Amino acid sequence: MPKVKRKAVAATNAPAKSRSSPRTKAKSKVEADKTRKATASTARIARLKPVFFCDPDTSDEGGFLSPWLRSRFEIKGVVYQKAGHYIVAEKARAFGDKKALQRILEAETTEELKSLGDSISGVDEKTWRRRVTRIAKTANTHKFTSDNTESRELLKRLKKLGNRELVFADPSDAVLGIGFNAADAEEVGREQWGANVFGKALDAVREQAKAKGKKANATRKQTSSQAAPRHGDLDTSIFDVGGRMSINW
d(CA 118, CA 99): 14
Give the H/E segment covering residue 143: helix 125-145
Size of the chain in residues: 249
Predicted local confidence at residue 206, as pLDDT: 98
pLDDT at position 70 over 70: yes
Reported as a single tens digit per residue, the pLDDT across 119-142 is 999 999 999 999 999 999 999 999
pLDDT at position 95 over 70: yes
pLDDT at position 221 over 90: no
Q: 247: pLDDT confidence band, cut at 50, 70 and 90?
A: very low
d(CA 170, CA 83): 15
Q: 105: pLDDT confidence band, cut at 50, 70 and 90?
A: very high
Predicted local confidence at residue 126, as pLDDT: 96
Give the bridge partners for 74, in sequence order.
79
Alpha-carbon separation of residue 52 from 55, 57, 186, 195 (angstroms): 10, 12, 10, 14
CB count, 10 Å around CB of 90?
22
Q: 106: pLDDT confidence band, cut at 50, 70 and 90?
A: very high
Task: Please tell me the pTM assigned to this model.
Answer: 0.72
Q: Backbone phi, then psi, for 193, in 5-degree steps? A: -70, 155
CATH 1.10.357.40 matches 51-183+192-219: yes
CB count, 10 Å around CB of 112?
15
End-to-end CA distance of the chain: 118
Reported as a single tens digit per residue, the pLDDT across 37-55 is 655 444 455 568 999 999 9
For the chain, percent of residues with pLDDT exceeding 70:
73
Give the H/E segment covering residue 177: none
Domain residue limits, the chain = 51-183+192-219
Predicted local confidence at residue 29, as pLDDT: 73
Mean pLDDT across 220-231: 70
Q: How far is CA 161 from the centre of its chain?
A: 2
Reported as a single tens digit per residue, the pLDDT across 175-212 is 999 999 999 999 999 999 999 999 999 999 999 999 99
d(CA 157, CA 151): 10
Mean pLDDT across 66-86: 98
pLDDT at position 30 over 80: no
